[in-house]
Amino acid sequence: MSNNVALITGGAKGIGRAIALDLAAKQWSVAICYRTSAAAAEETSAAITARGGQALAVQCDVSDSEAATNLVAQVESRWGKIDALINGAGPYHRVNLFDETSAGWREMFDGNLHPIFYLGQAVAPGMKARKHGRIINFSMANADQMVAQPEVTGHYIAKAGVLILTRTLAKLLAPYGITVNAISPGFIDSGSAPPEELAGVVKRIPAGYVGSVADTVAAVRYLLSEDARYVNGANLHLSGGWGI
């Protein structure tokens, strides 16, 4: 039996759920947090248990610093530690910059960037004490290109910020045996986009096909492994060549 513990934000559905189930098959204890998807979180928790893991589902808005800190404390109280933090939560909306609202603008940063800071601060002491840990953050495939994004401006800037925060955390935590890396997906069939929309973007992907959640799980699996112990501050493009 594994005694590893993971905390996955946005773990009730899509990519986060797939990662949770993969870890459960290796007998990890997996905590998932969600904001509104209570039914999906309950189903994912049951699936984690069925695959041999232990499950904890917590309703939490990780854009709130106190709530994020309390979430980490709750998981550590339950299982004594957190070996892996996977920041998978992140709201997204498409709107022209000049039609964006102040609330919508703030939401992109509160949901995509700030939780990585809050949760990173909260898990660091335990990981540093144990001299081991893995943090994986999700950006987007062309965020490092710094190109104009009139329809997803706030989201894009937040995801570029994720890359800077990832590298900063990596530099600060590397002396303690902790790695912090980013995965930057392109078009992934995770159930969040209509099939017709994905079909329409295939011609823009050099590999010629849309990625699957299995591709994302494989990338996470590698970064969590000891094979990746010297990989730190990296940005792993998961896009079939799109966005590079």
Q: What is the pLDDT of residue 197?
A: 83
Cβ neighbours of residue 48 closer than 8 Å, sequence gap 6 or more: 20, 21, 24, 30, 32, 54, 55
Q: What is the pLDDT of residue 194?
A: 78
Q: Residue 233 phi/psi, 5° resolution? A: 75, 15
Q: What is the pLDDT of residue 192?
A: 78
What pairs with residue 133 in β-bridges? 178
Cα dist. 64→81, 173, 216 in Å?
A: 22, 23, 27
Cα distance between residue 122 and residue 101, in whole Å = 31
Q: What is the pLDDT of residue 195?
A: 82
User: pTM for the complete prediction?
Assistant: 0.96
Helical residues (DSSP H) of 142-203, grouped into ranges: 153-173, 195-201
Task: Provide the residue-wise pLDDT of the chain in tens; the chain has 244 residues.
Answer: 569 999 999 999 999 999 999 999 999 999 999 999 999 999 999 999 999 999 999 999 999 999 999 999 999 999 999 999 999 998 989 999 999 999 999 999 999 999 999 999 999 999 999 999 999 999 999 999 999 999 999 999 999 999 999 999 999 999 999 999 999 999 999 987 778 888 889 999 999 999 999 999 999 999 999 999 999 999 999 999 999 9
In CATH terms, is domain 5-238 a member of 3.40.309.10? no
